[in-house]
Amino acid sequence: MPEPQINPWSSNQSVDVEKLFSEFGIEPIAPAISELPCIPYFMSRGIVVGQRDYRQIASAIRNHTPFHVLTGFMPSGHPHLGHLMVMKEVVWHVQQGGTGYVTIADREAHAVRGISWEKCREYGKEYLACLYALGFEGQTYFQSKNERLKDLAFEAATKVNFSELTAIYGFSPETDLAHAFSVITQVADILYPQVDREPAPTIVPVGIDQDPHIRLTRGVAHKLRMFTVEDRDGYISVRSKNAPEEALDAVKAAFPGAKMYEGHVDIRDVPCSDISVKVRRIERKYGGFGFYTPSSTYHIFMPGLTGGKMSSSIPESIISFYEPEAAVRKKVMSGITGGKMTRDEQKRCGGEPDRCSLFLLNLFHMVTDDAELAEIRRKCVSGEIMCGQCKKETAERVVIFLKDFREKMDAAAEKIEV
Ligand code: TRP
Ligand code: SF4
């Protein structure tokens, strides 16, 4: 079996962003955000680089119409700085009017990583404390405890077969069934807000490695629809995919002048968006889901201090929230920089901030002020500052950040009951 091109469970992969755009149909973020009333720093700084269908979210934000935001965390270890980005994206979208959901993927951690249920619970609670510390408001749940989620997963499973799992994830006959279960549970996670509340556009902020799940879910959302609404030349055609006959009759009855044909109803002189809304309502009335195809954004990963990805399996690469101050300073001071071999050379040619794990740490989380960040870049590129000094200043920022964040986490921990 060939390795899938993106493997969500691999911890050491570098993804080629350009290739994702051209091969998987992920689109750049820039054109989709022009409608946003304000652009968050993770978009303007190039951290969030890609999207699918983000326009429907941008327009929901601008027009104050309902939308959901959902993401998930696998509790396979303590949360660390590498997890903060998606959390911030969720919080921001809630502040923009989205209804917030966060799932703790304990089924996935147990099935794929063999983490005990007890550890899943312990780590899961830490993730939730981080989220609340960042100001999250909304619903949170553990996959294993959410019965409606499991029912939805089962329903979703009627639309996925093993050859699709093989094509997307490289599953083989040896792959155990629980792994497939955890995949379909994630599909259900992504659709869950639309079942729990109402059908509405849903934004799922994720790292690029999660795109296979997004692709699968978008397919399932479509397959679970009873109808498709197609904009033809001069008229709208509502086509039944697997709707009961009465539901199609109801569509015809809802639009005076509509013409009924074998398996479809054609409607003239009514805006497509109005028809979509009514058709969704009818679909729900007859036991369907009326799903909107979920949207996603993709952020790049903050590099670990040792180079590659931040991963709990390489302790030196990460900074976790409860690390002692001395250890934090030591890790930052020994982080990989974009500096030159000698002081002389660095003075002459400057450093390379875009290749420096510490600059990126500042860019992702430690320096919120754009002007201040630009100043760090300028000093680096011009050779005005040496890495030693720059690292010290960064370590100071990290220490202060962590102290404040821990206090917020501790305060939030009281809110969490599991
Ligand atoms: N698979 C994700 C991870 O490894 C966790 C996850 C579960 C998730 N359900 C989700 C992410 C739904 C986004 C949306 O981190
Ligand atoms: Fe990185 Fe700072 Fe060194 Fe530039 S000066 S390479 S930003 S540590």
- 330-343 pLDDT tens trace: 999 999 999 999 99
- 376-415 pLDDT tens trace: 999 999 999 999 999 999 999 999 999 999 999 999 988 7
The residue count for the chain = 418
Q: How far apart are CA 41 and CA 39, in angstroms?
A: 7
* CB of 190 sitting under 6 A from ligand 1: yes
Residue 3 is predicted with a pLDDT of 55
To the nearest 10 degrees (0 to 180), the angle between helices 272-285 and 245-254 is 140
In the predicted model, what is the mean pLDDT of residues 233-245? 95
Region at 291 (left for phi over 0; alpha for psi -120 to 50; beta for the rest): beta
Residue 9: pLDDT above 60? yes
* CB of 73 sitting under 6 A from ligand 1: yes
Closest C-alpha among 207, 201, 206, 205 to residue 62: 201
Provide the mean pLDDT of the chain: 94
Helix (H, G, I), strand (E, B) or coil at 93: helix
**Ligand 1 atom at minimum distance from 185 CA:** 9
Start-end of H helices in 103-210 = 106-113, 117-133, 147-157, 162-169, 177-196
3-state secondary structure 273-319: HHHHHHHHHHHHHCCCCCCCCCEEEEECCCEECCEEECCCCCHHHCC
Q: Please give the span between the terminal C-alpha atoms of the chain, in angstroms, as a whole number.
A: 40
Residue 4 is predicted with a pLDDT of 57
Rounded to 5°, angle at Cα 161 from 163 and 214:
90
The rounded Å distance from CA 319 to ligand 1 centre is: 21
The rounded Å distance from CA 338 to ligand 2 centre is: 6
The rounded Å distance from CA 323 to ligand 2 centre is: 23
- 73-106 pLDDT tens trace: 999 999 999 999 999 999 999 999 999 999 999 9
The rounded Å distance from CA 71 to ligand 1 centre is: 6
In the predicted model, what is the mean pLDDT of residues 49-58? 96
Residue 86 is predicted with a pLDDT of 97
**Alpha-carbon separation of residue 21 from 167, 211, 329 (angstroms):** 19, 12, 38
Q: Which ligand is nearest to the CA of 385?
A: 2
* CB of 224 sitting under 6 A from ligand 1: no
Residue 10 is predicted with a pLDDT of 60
* CB of 390 sitting under 6 A from ligand 2: yes
Q: What phi and psi values does residue 45 have, to the nearest 5 degrees?
A: -90, 5
Residue 368 is predicted with a pLDDT of 93
- 138-190 pLDDT tens trace: 999 999 999 999 999 999 999 999 999 999 999 999 999 999 999 999 999 99
Question: Global pTM?
Answer: 0.93
Rg, the chain, Cα only: 24
Residue 5 is predicted with a pLDDT of 60
